[in-house]
Amino acid sequence: MTEFSAVKESLAHQAIELPSWAFGNSGTRFKVFGQPGVPRTPEEKIADAAQVHRYTGIAPTVALHIPWDAVDDYAKLAEYAAEQGVRVGAINSNVFQDDDYRLGSVTNPDPAVRRKALDHLLACVDVMDATGSRDLKLWFSDGTNYPGQDDIRARQDRLAEALEAVYARLGDDQRFLLEYKLFEPAFYTTDLPDWGTAYAHCLKLGDKAQVVVDTGHHAPGTNIEFIVAFLLRENKLGGFDFNSRFYADDDLMVGSADPFQLFRIMYEVVRGGGYDPAAGVAFMLDQCHNIEPKIPGQIRSVLNVQEATAKALLVDADALASAQAAGDVLGANAALMDAYNTDVRPMLAELRAEQGLDPDPMAAFARSGYTERVAAERVGGRQAGWGA
Ligand code: PSV
Ligand code: MN
Ligand code: MN
């Protein structure tokens, strides 16, 4: 196995992006549970995200969701983020919460609704201009519930038309990340149900259109690391929305349900060159903490990604390659498993200490008194967005 000292430097430069919506109250369609001290404004969400960076050292950006994080002055919001020690990351568009979108947004049969949706996506690029964000993340709830409800092929045409218009609006240093999802909220057809559909649309448009892999958006048993390896090879992997699932789009803490899957994904990322910052892969979290406290939930998630990454970097690439070339099935498998079975926590604690961080971010945050302070200060915390 590779020595930890050889991978320390790469781990020190890891960057994981936090979702602003993870800090608001959330729940299921049965109940949203309120928690004390949750943010009331986009600024307070950023302040909470900054706490995660402060204790982990590897969460320097926070993704915004528009209009959940709407403000009058986005440049000022970006300045505020900088004051807190973080930056604004991807801008997430929202064309799924208006009554107008009952039959879809950019694929709606009504051209007026399509125009409204497109205008929102273009407005999100304006926000990117003001915040200096590189990425626009596009997730559409579009689809149908019943056979015959709408023309599946025409909906693809409408989707392509909207994506083309957004693509044309992107600046030189901007790109969009196209997200797919197997099902939900539509149950019969989804207009972007899988990586292949997203890939085909992105391929037609060019380099500024990339696919984002949300780990919760696949059928059970899907080999996500294969998708990652394939997209990386094609230079089409724009990033991840990390989370864990047991059943559907559970949005649980990444690495909680299946840490081995997270390791396998991170191994393919490393193997395919996607861990090099020059590859431009965005490592984002897309989670909701319905029953657990939110800032510690995000810290735990960041640490889970860090641990999986450390293990992936520890894989002895030479030993693996020779075992593979020799057809040594058990030897090759052992090269991966040796790295996966390493307890990297003491090494990561050591790394943090060297970086001037507390070796135990969870304990350090708990001791800081931040939770108690915001619980006293913030009254009337807002829901993350769902049904707000
Ligand atoms: C809905 O499925 C969703 O969870 C998508 O994963 C988006 O990325 C996220 O909401 C935020 O819009
Ligand atoms: Mn997502
Ligand atoms: Mn989702």
The CATH code of the domain that includes 158 is 3.20.20.150
> What does residue 50 show for φ and ψ, rounded to 5 degrees?
-65, -30
The type of residue at 244 is S
Residue 327's domain comprises 4-377
Any domain includes 12: yes
Cβ–ligand 1 contact at 249 (below 6 Å):
yes
pLDDT at residue 387, rounded to an integer: 41
Per-residue pLDDT of 45-88, as tens digits, reads 999 999 999 999 999 999 999 999 999 999 999 999 999 999 99
Any domain includes 387: no
Any domain includes 201: yes
Hey, which of 95, 241, 254 would you mutate to test ligand 1's pocket, going by the most ligand atoms within 8 Å of its Cβ?
Answer: 241
Smallest CA separation from ligand 1 atom 7, residue = 139
Any domain includes 225: yes
Three-state SS for 27? strand
Which secondary structure element, helix H or strand E, spans residue 237, and what is its range?
Answer: strand 237-242
Any domain includes 384: no
Any domain includes 388: no
Any domain includes 189: yes
- Nearest CA to 188 out of 105, 103, 71, 287 is that of 103
Which atom of ligand 1 approaches the CA of 241 most closely?
8
Report the share of the chain in percent with pLDDT over 70: 98
Smallest CA separation from ligand 1 atom 8, residue = 139
Which atom of ligand 1 approaches the CA of 96 most closely?
12
CA atoms within 13 A on the CB side of 213: 27
Q: What is the pLDDT confidence band of residue 382, given thresholds at 50, 70 and 90? A: low
Number of residues assigned to the chain:
388
CB burial of residue 329 (10 Å; 0-12, 13-18, 19+): exposed
CA atoms within 13 A on the CB side of 194: 8
Pairing of β 26-27 and β 32-33: antiparallel
Give strand pairing partners of 252: 244
| pTM across the whole model | 0.97
Dihedral-angle region of residue 34 (phi above 0 means left; psi in -120 to 50 means alpha; beta otherwise): beta
Any domain includes 328: yes
Cβ–ligand 1 contact at 286 (below 6 Å):
yes
Give the count of domains, the chain: 1
What ipTM was predicted for this assembly? 0.98
